[in-house]
């Protein structure tokens, strides 16, 4: 059992990649391992993401973990003193204040596990993710499989015609593509 006087070493872990690459699945796996080790967890997601559930973090494979939807990352700082691990899904949808929140939590001795898209549908760095990648002790980039050629996919190609930066969707709105197939699709105006 964890002793009150034991030194708690906080850290930031980032899981990033394109859509359909298993980011949320990996986040849930790490959180379940922490629970198995009797560590208290707190899980957060952006309130805007209600694709599968308003309350739960849910992977495309429909694995889930209970979470607290928030609009302001600073709400994450209100966790109880027994929380050892904080999970954050869809981090790209939060504002830049998420970076300071993660730093503060890690400085308090909390293990912070963040999952999110590293780039948007235009291939540009997305939200607070670049800064989180820079300060993290551990970064894992996961990949989907390109639906056109079978290579590792690095891009979330938008199929829907919307130009909004944030467009929640699934396979009807996005497909994972490798660099070559993504560039070909963009050049063809698809």
For residue 54, what is the domain's CATH number? 3.40.50.300
Active-site residue set: 90
Q: Is 155 a domain residue? A: no
Query: What is the reported pLDDT for 48?
Result: 86
pLDDT of residue 109: 97
Specify if 119 maps to a domain: yes
Give residue 41's Cα distance to chain centre.
16
Q: What is the mean pLDDT of residues 95-119?
A: 97
Q: Is the pLDDT of residue 78 over 50?
A: yes
User: CA-to-CA distance for 33 and 138, rounded, in angstroms?
Assistant: 17
CA-angle at 39, arms to 37 and 44, nearest 5°: 125
CA distances from 14 to 95, 136, 180, 183, 185 (A): 16, 6, 26, 26, 29
Straight-line distance from the first to the last Cα atom of the chain, in angstroms, rounded to the nearest whole number: 55
Separation between Cα atoms, residue 174 and residue 19, nearest integer Å:
8
Gap between the Cα atoms of 102 and 24, Å rounded: 18
User: Mean pLDDT over all residues of the chain?
Assistant: 88
> Helices (H) and strands (E) in the chain — how many of each?
4, 12
Residue 100's domain spans which residues?
A: 11-142
Is residue 111 situated within a structural domain?
yes
pLDDT tens digits, one per residue of 6-51: 557 899 999 999 999 999 999 999 999 999 999 999 999 998 877 6
Quick check: 56 pLDDT over 70?
Answer: no
In a domain, 180, yes or no: no
**What pLDDT, on a 0 to 100 scale, did the predictor assign at position 126?**
95
State the DSSP code for 179.
Answer: H
Indicate whether 169 belongs to any domain.
no
Instruction: Read off the pLDDT of residues 131-190 as tens digits, 9 standing for 90 and up.
Output: 999 999 999 999 999 999 999 999 999 887 766 656 555 556 889 999 999 999 999 987
In a domain, 123, yes or no: yes
Select from 151, 140, 142 the least CA-distant residue to 177.
Answer: 151
Split into its structural domains, the chain has a count of 1
What is the pLDDT, as a whole number, of residue 1? 40
Q: Are 65 and 45 within 8 A, CB to CB? A: no
In a domain, 104, yes or no: yes
45 domain residue, yes or no: yes
- pLDDT at res. 185: 94
């Amino acid at each position: 059992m964890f002793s009150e006087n034991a030194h708690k070493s906080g850290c930031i872990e980032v899981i990033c990649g394109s859509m359909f690459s298993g980011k949320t699945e990996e986040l849930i796996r790490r959180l379940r391992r922490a629970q198995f080790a009797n560590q208290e967890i707190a899980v957060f997601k952006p309130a805007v993401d209600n694709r599968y559930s308003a309350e739960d973090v849910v992977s495309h494979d429909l694995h889930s973990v209970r979470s607290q939807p928030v609009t302001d990352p600073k709400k994450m700082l209100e966790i109880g003193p027994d929380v050892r691990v904080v999970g954050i899904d869809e981090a790209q949808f939060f504002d830049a204040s998420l970076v300071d929140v993660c730093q503060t939590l890690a400085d308090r001795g909390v293990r912070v596990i963040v999952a999110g898209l590293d780039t948007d549908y235009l291939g540009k760095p997305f939200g607070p993710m670049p800064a989180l990648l820079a300060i993290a002790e551990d970064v894992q980039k996961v990949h989907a499989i390109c639906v056109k050629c079978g290579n590792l996919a690095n891009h979330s190609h938008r199929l829907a015609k919307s130009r909004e930066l944030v467009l929640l969707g699934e396979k009807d709105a996005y497909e994972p593509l490798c660099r070559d197939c993504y560039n070909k699709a963009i050049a063809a105006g698809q």
